[in-house]
Amino acid sequence: MLPARGSGGHSPIPPLALHPLLAAAYPVLFLFAQNVAEQVTLQPLWIPLVASLGAGAAALLLGRALAGDWLRGALLATIALALFFSFGHAWNALGELLGQRRWLIAAYLAIGSALAIVVWRGGRWVPAATRGVTFVLVVACAINAWSIASFTLAGRRAVASDAAPIQVAVGERGRPDIYFLVMDRYAGADTLRTQYGYDNAPFLDALRARGFAVAEDASANYLKTALSLSSTLSMDFLDGPALAANAEDGREVAAAYALLQSHLPVPATLQSLGYEYVHVGSYWEPTGTNPYADRVIGSARGDQFSSALLSTTALSLLSPPLEPGERTIEAWGTGKEFTLRQFEHVIETRNLDGPTFVFSHFLVPHPPYYFDADGSTPTEEERAQRSEEEEYVRQLEWTNGRILDMLDALLDVPDDRQPIIVLAADEGPFPDAFAADERDFDWTRASPSQIERKYGILNAMHLPGIDPADAGFNDRSTPVNTFRYVMNAFFDADLDPLPDVSFLSPDYAHLYDFVEIERTDGGGG
């Protein structure tokens, strides 16, 4: 028999009434388990988990105060937590149908009110319901905790965990600072012109005016960021069978993340020459830090996961609105702020004592589109009136301006301190059809325009005192050769250029079954 409301004010908490703590922990564990392959360490998990448990405890105490007993108070708390943590998921599933978030808010208020009334009235069902809710939450939390633990205990077997430096020497040009600046999903000029209706020539001409050579018909070597960056920083093509051997079913991309986090030949070689490896962290966990960097600046420290979690809760109402059904996880305000700080952090590295190798991976013009052309955040109404292509172009225009500002600051040094700057993309934007079926999209059946969209990229180099063409750079140069050019021109390496070819991955389940793309004379892909 339940105690009357308001009685038993000093009664101990029954163990079964602690299920709000499980309800608070479950969303954190679930989301982390779903994205554990992208996490470098477990560090991003702890702060959100502790904060959620604190919220669960507070909800339990408030429910107890309102209901007058622990069991009904705990049910009220769990209902509130479930509604709070599921709001973003519900919008993602139903937003396209509902159109605007106010309808979902109304539905949530109605459901919450109805359930609260039922619990408030109580009855003989309350103890049984409490046991059932507790059992379900214990099982759900245990499954996700096991998934996280098993993946972590299995370890991240990198294919090349400690690469040996290549044989180089300091040449007559000394050791200029080197910047490797990667703009995620920055499309090639042909793609922008034919598929986005945008002429990027003014920006490319501005690069040339600053001493850059631009590859007019550059392509990415691989489909995914981790593959592309690992290849570039290895100055070689990837060993598909070795990566596949380290891939876990359902989380194949984790092998590529492990490789990206290893000690790759470019930074290892430059460190052997006395360079300080400065890693300016991105908002994406795999490039948020690097264990082999001498200095990490602006590391995300789990910001992306925290942002992902917040975007699934009712607090997403305070963040820049997303299109219905949009599955982005960086939409929380810190994403925009982090990107702005990242540009400033790169500029600040020019004040470090050299020589330095600075690597930074920027998540623009990659979505979400939190930058309009003037740097403002587009409103929900503005976004609703724009196509995906228009939003991309507007963020691209803002990105172009910030890139030029950054380059001007890096190049504003005496002639004898002019840096080497590599400005490139890892990949192009995904075609629309891919978004509908990401895991099973068959890239071997992709159309030429889809291939061009995905593989056509920005690729530009600034080599002080050297014509990049003399180093081998040309209109079809792909990133795998970028640092071969640098090592040959500045450090007396004797590296033959590799073929400028690109490789498809059939789909995510066969990520490392690389298939060479046959390029045509006409460009792009």
The larger pLDDT score, comparing residue 248 to residue 513, is at 513
Q: What confidence tens digit (pLDDT) does each residue in 306-332 have?
A: 767 777 888 777 655 544 434 343 444
Domain boundary among 104, 138, 154: 154
Residues 189, 295: one domain? yes
Enumerate residues 6+ apart whose C-beta is below 8 A from 512: 238, 240, 241, 243, 244, 247, 252, 255, 505
In whole angstroms, give the CA distance from residue 502 to residue 91: 38
Looking at residue 519, what is its pLDDT? 67
Residues 369, 453: one domain? yes
What is 462-487 written as a DSSP string? E-TTS-HHHHT--TT--GGGHHHHHH
Looking at residue 40, what is its pLDDT? 59
Say if residue 476's pLDDT is above 80: yes
- Does residue 82 lie within any of the structural domains? yes
Residues 258, 390: one domain? yes
Closest CA to 330 of 348, 346, 342: 342
Looking at residue 303, what is its pLDDT? 59
Q: Which amino acid is at 283?
A: Y
Looking at residue 39, what is its pLDDT? 64
- Does residue 131 lie within any of the structural domains? yes
- Start-to-end CA distance of the chain, whole Å, equals 72
Show the tokens assigned to 472.
């081998």
In whole angstroms, give the CA distance from residue 368 to residue 486: 33
Residues 25, 87: one domain? yes
Spatial contact of 295 and 351, defined as CB atoms under 8 Å apart: no
Mean pLDDT on 61-89: 91
Residues 479, 364: one domain? yes
Q: How many domains does the chain have?
A: 2
The band of 387, judged by pLDDT with boundaries at 50, 70 and 90, is very high
Letter string b/e over residues 188-201, b meaning 16 or more CB atoms within 10 A of that residue's CB: bbbbbbbbbebebe
- Does residue 263 lie within any of the structural domains? yes
- Does residue 344 lie within any of the structural domains? yes
DSSP structure class, residue 165: P
Residues 379, 472: one domain? yes
Spatial contact of 274 and 355, defined as CB atoms under 8 Å apart: yes
- Does residue 443 lie within any of the structural domains? yes
Q: Which of 95-109, 227-241, 340-354, 440-454 has the lowest mean pLDDT?
A: 95-109
- Does residue 298 lie within any of the structural domains? yes
Range of the domain at 352: 178-516
Domain boundary among 122, 154, 186: 154
Q: What confidence tens digit (pLDDT) does each residue in 129-178 have?
A: 999 999 999 999 999 898 888 766 665 444 445 567 788 888 788 999 99
Closest CA to 298 of 309, 316, 284, 318: 284
Residues 188, 100: one domain? no
- Report the CATH number at residue 294: 3.40.720.10
Domain boundary among 154, 188, 208: 154
Looking at residue 522, what is its pLDDT? 44
Closest CA to 211 of 479, 415, 442, 1: 415
Residues 93, 201: one domain? no
Residues 206, 283: one domain? yes
Looking at residue 435, what is its pLDDT? 78
Residues 263, 375: one domain? yes
Show the tokens assigned to 461.
């180099």
Spatial contact of 325 and 92, defined as CB atoms under 8 Å apart: yes
Looking at residue 332, what is its pLDDT? 40
- Does residue 8 lie within any of the structural domains? no
Residues 108, 252: one domain? no
Residues 194, 128: one domain? no
Query: For tokens 């379900």, what's the residue?
Result: 136
* Mean pLDDT rounded to a whole number for the chain: 86
- How buried is residue 329: exposed, middle or buried, by Cβ count under 10 Å (0-12/13-18/19+)? buried
- Does residue 173 lie within any of the structural domains? no
What is 104-124 written as a DSSP string? HHHHHHHHHHHHHHHHHH--T
